[in-house]
Structure formats: structure tokens, C-alpha cells
Amino acid sequence: MNLILLGPPGAGKGTQARRLEDTRGLVQLSTGDMLRAMVAEGGPLGQQAKDIMAAGKLMPDELMVQMIAERISKPDVTNGFILDGFPRTVAQAEALDKMLADKGLKLDHVIEMKVVDDILVDRITGRYTCAKCGKGYHDTFEKPKVEGVCDVCGSTEFKRRADDNAATVTTRLSQYHEQTAPILPYYRDRGVLKTVDGMAEIDDVTKQIEALLAA
Ligand code: AMP
């Protein structure tokens, strides 16, 4: 099964993608994670990515399409994938269609996670993760049970994304509305678009997604 989780930054795409990896054996393909790994490696392309991400702007389509094309060809993707953060423009969506057609693959579902902007700013600026196991937390909505200690692995080190600050979030949201939201009618016209309420509790969003996949 091949899926796209589509929605603004902070909608919960990463959280739901990781759950679907566990429950359905799919592979999460997050272009944001791939870019952050590239930044961590350094090099000229990493520096370019770092600057663009810090500004909340989008990376060039050609580079992103190439990145996904390479990743999707790896053997671990045979059970299916969940795209998280790609496509982000209509040009990327068109390139993905072509890429999948060439491989004899198809998209089964495109799931829009709908959340209003006001909520997203609070969600994004307060979120952080365990540096060791990646468990997600939030300053207000989801604190560790013991302050400063990860519930899952006991680590005391946490990290925040460099672009999860109020100034960058505003640009990321306007980029979503201008560049990414036009993908919604693109997939609606192809009959694969479904919508869930991304403002519900995390477990409830998972249930909504599972219901769509089972239908
Ligand atoms: P994310 O982790 O999905 O929120 O992505 C973080 C940042 O990486 C975005 O704000 C963009 O700067 C960049 N990025 C991730 N995916 C894409 C994409 N498909 N196209 C262009 N830029 C991207």
C-alpha cells in the first residue's frame, strides 16, 4: 500500500507515519528528515538546505524529486511507503505520478490532515523530541512523566528543530497555503483524496486513518 500524508507543518504527519510504519510495515519517506540528515553531514548542498530550511522556504523541485526517486528504488520500500512532506508542489506531484507509473506502482490513498493555522503555531513552537529514541513531546500538551527524562528510553537529552520557531513557522505556513495546498484539488480530481480531522486527539486521528485504509 502506498500513501501520502498531506497537511501543513505541525499537522501530525510524522507522528501518524511512524505509527503506520509499526502497524502496517510501511516505510516512512520524510523529505524533511532526509534534508536534516544532509545538513548534519555538511557539504555545500547541506549548507544550501540549511539556509533554505531556516528561512522556511522550499527546496528546488528537481532536487527533491531526485531525492525521492533514489529512496523509493531501495529494496526496503517493497511493502509500500508513506510519503511525509513530499510532494509539496504540483510539479512534485506530477513528477511523482510519472515516477510511479514508470515503476508500475500506484498511489492508494492521499490523506489530508486538516488543522487550522492558529493551532499549528502553538503546536510547532512547543514541540521537541528525545535525542536518543525520537519520541515526540510538547512544552504544554505532552510533557514527559518525569521532567527532563524520556518516558520511553530514559534519556535526558532532547532536541528541537532549528526551524520550529515563531518567525519561520509563519513563512512555512504561507508556503503551505501558496505552494502545497494546490495539490489537494490535483488529487481530488484523481479520486484518491481523503480528509481526516487533524485537530482530534492523536489516537483518534490514527483511528480515522485506519478506518479510511480499511474501507
Ligand atoms: P518538514 O520536516 O517536512 O517540515 O520539512 C522541513 C523543511 O524542509 C521545509 O520547510 C522545507 O524547507 C524543506 N522540505 C522538506 N520537504 C520538501 C519538499 N518536498 N520540497 C521542498 N522543500 C522541502
pLDDT in tens, 30-82: 999 999 999 999 999 999 999 999 999 999 999 999 999 999 999 999 889 99
pLDDT in tens, 141-186: 999 999 999 999 999 999 999 999 999 999 999 999 999 999 999 9
Asked if 73 contacts 66 with a C-beta cutoff of 8 angstroms, the reply is no
- In ligand 1, the atom with minimum distance to the C-alpha of 86 is 19
**Share above pLDDT 90 across residues of the chain, in percent, rounded to a whole number:** 97
**Which residue ranges have their beta carbon within 6 Å of ligand 1?**
9, 31-32, 35, 52-53, 56-59, 64, 85-86, 88, 92, 163, 172
pLDDT the model gives residue 215: 84
pLDDT the model gives residue 78: 84
Return d(Cα 93, Cα 97) in angstroms, integer.
6
Is the torsion defined by CA of 56, 39, 70, 63 positive or negative?
positive
The end-to-end CA distance of the chain, in Å, is 13
For residue 35, the surrounding DSSP H or E stretch is helix 31-41
Catalytic positions, please? 13, 88, 127, 161, 172
CB-neighbour burial class of residue 30 (10 A; exposed 0-12, middle 13-18, buried 19+) = buried
Q: Using DSSP, state whether 183 is helix, strand or coil.
A: helix
Instruction: Give how far Cα 59 sits from Cα of 18, 89, 109, 194, Å.
Output: 24, 11, 25, 26
pLDDT the model gives residue 111: 98
CA angle 44, 92, 159 (to 5 degrees): 50
Question: What is the distance in A from the centroid of ligand 1 to the CA of 15?
Answer: 16
User: CB pairs under 8 A, 24+ apart, for 122-127?
Assistant: 123/10, 124/9, 124/10, 124/164, 124/169, 124/172, 125/164, 125/165, 125/166, 125/169, 127/10, 127/160, 127/161, 127/164
pLDDT the model gives residue 3: 97
For residue 27, the surrounding DSSP H or E stretch is strand 27-30
- Nearest partner of 29 among 76, 81, 97, judged by Cα: 81
Question: What is the distance in A from the centroid of ligand 1 to the CA of 181?
Answer: 14
